[in-house]
Amino acid sequence: MAELKLEKVRKNYGQVTAIHQIDLQVKNGEFLVIVGPSGCGKSTLLRMVAGLEAISDGDIYINEKHVNEVEPKDRQIAMVFQNYALYPHMSVFNNMAYGLKIAGLNRSDIQKRVHEVSEILEIKSLLDRKPRQLSGGQRQRVAMGRAIVRNPALFLFDEPLSNLDAKLRVQMRIEIKQLQRRLGITTLYVTHDQVEAMTLADRLLVMNAGIAEQIGTPLEIYEHPQTTFVAGFIGSPPMNLLQCVVNGHQIFLEKQALLGIPPSRNIEKPSVVLGIRPEHLVLDPQGPLNLTIDLVETLGADTLVYAHLGRQRIVARLPDHHKVSLGDQMRFTIPPERANFFDVDSGKKIAAKFS
């Protein structure tokens, strides 16, 4: 196992800054997921930890050892890629054993370690097959097995499930989580899928355009997003972000008064972004939020209602089944304690939830 520490790590490509001074500490045995949209720098950050990309500034430590100039093979890391990167002419056994042979282990130790790991991953019956004879899920297990046999201090996963179908992705992420818990290996996992990130992570690092927007547990980030980017990225469907006007101690949406501002909370700006999760909107015949229904998605356990008020688009999640038709009017209340407020210009949170 390993502790990982990044201090003011930055990456430039010429005049373009891809990673903006990231500070991060990952504890022994922790599963940290780096999540963000395509092009945000998450894979670049992972490759810098692996030593596959040189850093422009800052320091990286693995178990308190400064590794900026240490070769990838000497960092005690193992990486699993999106495309599996298996040798097509080698059997599963030889794919898993190759790194151990290069490291100079004797034949009996290699066989013992490969067989132990193949039992853990339930691929022992596949050891004589070639990669072309395997399914996508089996290839991913072999790629993971090749990493595990090296007994690394640090696991690095770069979108390993993106080539799999939806059902297999769910199964594989459960297996990855269970495997990491069993082995106790410190893990960095990159994905653009926020559902995958929420289900796997002990903590999340949410990235946007090379910036670490927020670091925290999945529940912290879901319930207390610190920027409009995080609020709009985490959650399915994401948080509603509504452009509101502040007038005295009232907040208005499209000229409808939504919330009163307690005297202890003075919002001085004339406008604010109000954030509310779809499931926190309360159906209320007397509610101030009068919406026109545009689309209804019946999901079985609940129903998603897509609606609008003026130019504002709003999604509500309703429990069970509701008989709603397009064009219907529905009224909702926003519980004050569930409301989040963000600055219109910076996108940063400007007020805690009201009590």
Question: Which residues, other chains included, contact 286 with Cβ-Cβ below 8 Å and sequence gap of 6+?
Answer: 331
Q: What is the pLDDT of residue 314?
A: 95
First to last CA, the chain: 42
Q: What is the pLDDT of residue 265?
A: 64
Q: What is the pLDDT of residue 254?
A: 82
Q: Where are the alpha helices (DSSP H) in the chain?
A: 42-50, 92-102, 107-120, 136-148, 166-183, 194-200, 218-223, 228-233
State the virtual CA torsion across 294, 299, 300, 303 in degrees, nearest 10. Answer: -40
Q: What is the pLDDT of residue 276?
A: 94
Question: Which residues, other chains included, contact 178 with Cβ-Cβ below 8 Å and sequence gap of 6+?
Answer: none
Distance CA 122, CA 45 (A): 32
Which residue's structure tokens are 């990456």? 11
Q: Where are the alpha helices (DSSP H) in 121-247?
A: 136-148, 166-183, 194-200, 218-223, 228-233
Give CATH for domain 4-232.
3.40.50.300
Distance CA 259, CA 267 (A): 12
3-state DSSP helix/strand/coil % of the chain, to nearest 5: 30, 35, 35
Give, for all 355 residues of the chain, the pLDDT tens digit.
Answer: 689 999 999 999 999 999 999 999 999 999 999 999 999 999 999 999 999 999 999 999 999 999 999 999 889 899 888 887 889 999 999 999 998 898 888 999 999 999 999 998 889 999 999 999 998 888 988 998 998 898 899 999 999 888 788 888 888 888 889 889 988 999 999 999 988 999 999 999 999 999 999 999 999 999 999 999 999 999 989 999 999 988 877 888 888 887 777 655 666 778 889 999 999 999 999 988 999 999 999 887 788 999 998 889 999 998 877 777 788 899 999 988 888 999 999 999 986 445 4
Check whether domain 240-351 has CATH 2.40.50.140, yes or no: yes
Sheet (strand 77-80) strand order: 77-80, 154-158, 186-191, 31-35, 203-208, 211-216
Q: How many CB atoms lie under 10 A from the CB of residue 15?
A: 5
- Structure tokens that stand for 198 in this block: 């929420």
Q: What is the pLDDT of residue 353?
A: 47
The domains of the chain are located at 4-232, 240-351
Q: Give which of 322, 326, 286 is closest to 306, Cα–Cα.
A: 326
